[in-house]
Amino acid sequence: MNKTEITQLFKKIKIRYPSFAIPADVEGAREMVEEWLIDLQHVPLDTAVRNLREYAMQPEHKFAPHPGILAVMSDNQDRYASLMKDLGQENVMSVEQMQANAVPISEEQRRKVRELFE
C-alpha cells in the first residue's frame, strides 16, 4: 500500500466510524499516514478494505480498527478454520474406525475381571 491508498483507506474508515480522528493540521495528518504506512506497506488495499468491511460487520466493534486488524490476511483465518474442520473430520473418522474394528470382550476376559472384583 502507498500513501494515496492509506488516505483512501482513512476515508473508508471515517465513513464507517465517524469518530475516527484524522488530524486537521497537514503535518499531523502526514505523520498519521506515515505511521499507518509503516504497518500496512505490504498489505494490498483491497485486503485492508475487505478486512475493514468484515470488522465493521461485527456488532461488538464499535470503534475504528487499528492497522494490525486491517493487516491480518483473511487467508490465515480461512486456513485455520479449514485446518480445524479437517482435524475434526479425521478425529470422527478415527473414532468410527476404532468402533468398527473393536473386538468384543471374550468370556475369558469377563471371567478374569469378575474374579478381580469378587
Are residue 43 and residue 86 in the same domain, yes or no?
no
Indicate the number of domains in the chain: 2
Are residue 62 and residue 92 in the same domain, yes or no?
no
At which residue does the C-alpha cell 464507517 appear?
A: 16
Buried b (16+ CB within 10 A) or exposed e, 87-103: eeeeeeeeeeeeeeeee
- Please give the residue range of the domain that contains residue 7: 1-72
pLDDT band at 75 (very low <50, low <70, confident <90, very high): low
Are residue 39 and residue 60 in the same domain, yes or no?
yes
Would you state the pLDDT for residue 77? 66
Are residue 42 and residue 92 in the same domain, yes or no?
no
> pLDDT tens across 29-62, in order?
999 999 999 999 988 999 899 999 999 999 999 9
Q: What percent of the chain has pLDDT over 70?
A: 94
